[in-house]
A and B are shown apart, each in its own frame.
Chain A
Amino acid sequence: MTHLLGAILIAAASSALGFAYVNAEKRRLRALRSMESLLKTVAGEFSARLTPLPELFSRLEQSCDGPAAVFAAELNRRLNQLGERAFHILWCESVEIAFPMLSGEERELLSALGRCLGRYELERQLAELSLTLNRLSAAIDRHSVALPEKKRLGLGLAWTGGALLVIVLF
Chain B
Amino acid sequence: MDSFETACELLPAPLRRRIETFSGRQPEEIRLRLHRPPALVLKGRELELAGDRLSENELTQVLERATGASLHSAMPAMVNGYISYQGLRIGLCGSAIMNQGRLAGFRDFSSLAIRLPRECRGICGGFIDRLTQNRLENTLIVSPPGLGKTTLLRELIRVLADSGTRVAVLDERNELSASSGGKQHFDLGRCSDVLVGIPKETGASMLLRGMNPQVIAMDEISAGEDRLVVERIIGCGVSILASAHGRDRHDMLRRPMYRDLFAMGAFSNIITISRDGENRRYSLERLE
Contacts and interface: CB of A to CB of B under 8 A. Distances in A.
Given A121-B105, A123-B99, A86 B73 contact: no
Interface in B53-74: 57, 60-62, 64-65, 67-73
Nearest to A49: B73
A118 B70 contact: yes
Interface string B78-116: 000000000000000000010100001101000000000
A82 interface: yes
B76 interface: yes
A99 B9 CA distance: 32
Contacts of A117: 69
B253 interface: no
B13 interface: yes
B68 A53 contact: yes
A52 B12 contact: no
Nearest to B10: A83
Contacts of B233: none
Contacts, number: 71
B76 A53 contact: no
B65 A82 contact: yes
B57 A118 contact: no
B72 A79 contact: no
A51 interface: yes
A22 B205 CA distance: 65
Given A83-B62, A122-B75, A54 B68 contact: yes
A41 to B, nearest CB: 15
B104 A123 contact: yes
A44 to B, nearest CB: 13
A19 interface: no
B107 A120 contact: yes
A82 B99 contact: no
Interface residues of A, number: 22
Contacts of B60: 86, 119
A121 B62 contact: no
A125 interface: yes
Given A83-B10, A86-B57, A123-B104, A118 B69 contact: yes
A21 interface: no
A118 B61 contact: no
Contacts of A125: 72
Residue of B12, B68, B104 with highest tally of chain A CB at under 10 A: B68
B65 A118 contact: no
A53 B68 CA distance: 7
A25 to B, nearest CB: 34
Contact of A121 (B11, B13, B65, B71): B71
Interface of A: 46, 50-55, 79, 82-87, 117-123, 125
21 contacts: A50-B70, A52-B67, A52-B68, A52-B73, A53-B69, A54-B68, A82-B64, A82-B68, A82-B69, A83-B64, A84-B12, A84-B61, A86-B60, A87-B69, A118-B64, A119-B60, A119-B64, A120-B71, A122-B75, A122-B105, A123-B99
Given A53-B69, A86-B57, A117-B69, 7 more contacts: A50-B76, A52-B73, A79-B68, A82-B68, A87-B69, A121-B72, A121-B105
Interface of B: 9-13, 57, 60-62, 64-65, 67-73, 75-76, 97, 99, 104-105, 107
